[in-house]
Amino acid sequence: MRETAYAKVNLALHVRGREPDGYHRIETIFAFAEDGDLLEVAEPLVAGAVELEIGGPFEALLAADAGNLVLKAAHALRSARGVTRGARLNLDKRLPVAAGIGGGSADAAAALRLLVRWWSLPHDPPELHRIAEGLGADVPACLISSTVRGEGRGDALTPVDGSELSGRPMLLINPRVPVPTGLVFRAWDGVDRGPLGADLLGRNDLEAPARLIAPEVGEVLTALEGASFAGMSGSGATCLGLYAILDERDAAAARISAAYPGWWLLKTRLR
């Protein structure tokens, strides 16, 4: 069995305040690419064990240890449902790490969806949401992997109609500069610039602090000029460009990859 860990993008992200515990109140529009990391499952080498193997272009940046969110998700689900059967998970890590596009959150969510099928468990959305909340603020949205509005820490979700954007050609670009989420939030200036409006596409209040930490974000956004919409996803450094047609996206990808051969690019579409 296999499951895609769909890349997450933020079409808008407003930071509304900093809480005493250090977390931030946000309002955001989560959307998802058609592509992402790939997770497969098979019988474990050791009966009853939960095992993880990592491959792919970004495998060197992750450890297959107890801190990996895929294993945390597997053990949380197994404990919640009293599962004794094992699983050997293979993660093909195709997305860059600490990049603002879900990463470990998307992988954890994919593990939950995959293991519910592998272990033949009843589909219980409220329980899966509770497990996802315990794994990270973005995991509940990644579990759904469709366009939703996120509030609070990003885990209070409301469905929105994303049909007008579904299928839109999208280009994701990362300058291969990891940007830790915590650093970006701590660098936020504390100014509440107002709530989300009705539009799905909008500003990202984390762009300015991300540029301070990784000036390459500005270079990527400049390279994406000409897209019908361009913005930074999450806390960066990945940026997205939306295009009207595939030919426009592909032409932009060819131009940018030639000018910046060291950057990571993904030609995809919005789900």
Span 49-91, pLDDT tens digits: 999 999 999 999 999 999 999 999 999 999 999 999 999 999 9
What would the mean pLDDT of 194-222 be, rounded to a whole number?
Answer: 97
Q: Quote the pLDDT of residue 237.
A: 97
State the catalytic residue, choosing from 35, 107, 138, 205. 138
Q: What's the pLDDT tens digit per position in 141-184?
A: 999 999 999 999 999 999 999 999 999 999 999 999 989 999 99
Q: Quote the pLDDT of residue 160.
A: 96
State the catalytic residue, choosing from 8, 72, 93, 267. 8
For residue 254, name the pLDDT band (cuts at 50, 70, 90).
very high
Strand partners, 149: 29, 158
Residue 195 exposed, middle or buried by CB count within 10 Å (0-12, 13-18, 19+): exposed
pTM summary value = 0.96
* Predicted confidence (pLDDT) at residue 192 exceeds the cutoff of 90: yes
Q: Give the chain's end-to-end CA distance (angstroms, integer).
A: 21
* Predicted confidence (pLDDT) at residue 203 exceeds the cutoff of 90: yes
**Domains identified in the chain and CATH numbers:** 2-159 (3.30.230.10), 169-269 (3.30.70.890)
* Predicted confidence (pLDDT) at residue 243 exceeds the cutoff of 90: yes
**3-class SS at 77?**
helix
Q: Quote the pLDDT of residue 21.
A: 87
| Cβ(141)–Cβ(154) below 8 Å | yes
Strand partners, 252: none
Residues 6+ apart with CB under 8 A from 78: 50, 115, 119
247 is catalytic: no
**3-class SS at 111?**
helix
What would the mean pLDDT of 12-31 be, rounded to a whole number?
Answer: 95
Q: How many CB atoms lie within 10 A of CB 223?
A: 22
Q: Quote the pLDDT of residue 22.
A: 84
* Amino acid at residue number 156: A
Q: How many CB atoms lie within 10 A of CB 226?
A: 12
What would the mean pLDDT of 193-212 be, rounded to a whole number?
Answer: 97
**3-class SS at 45?**
coil
Q: Quote the pLDDT of residue 55.
A: 98
* Predicted confidence (pLDDT) at residue 190 exceeds the cutoff of 90: yes
Tell me the pLDDT of the chain averaged across its residues.
97
Residue with tokens 């949380």: 76
93 is catalytic: no
Percent of the chain topping pLDDT 90: 98
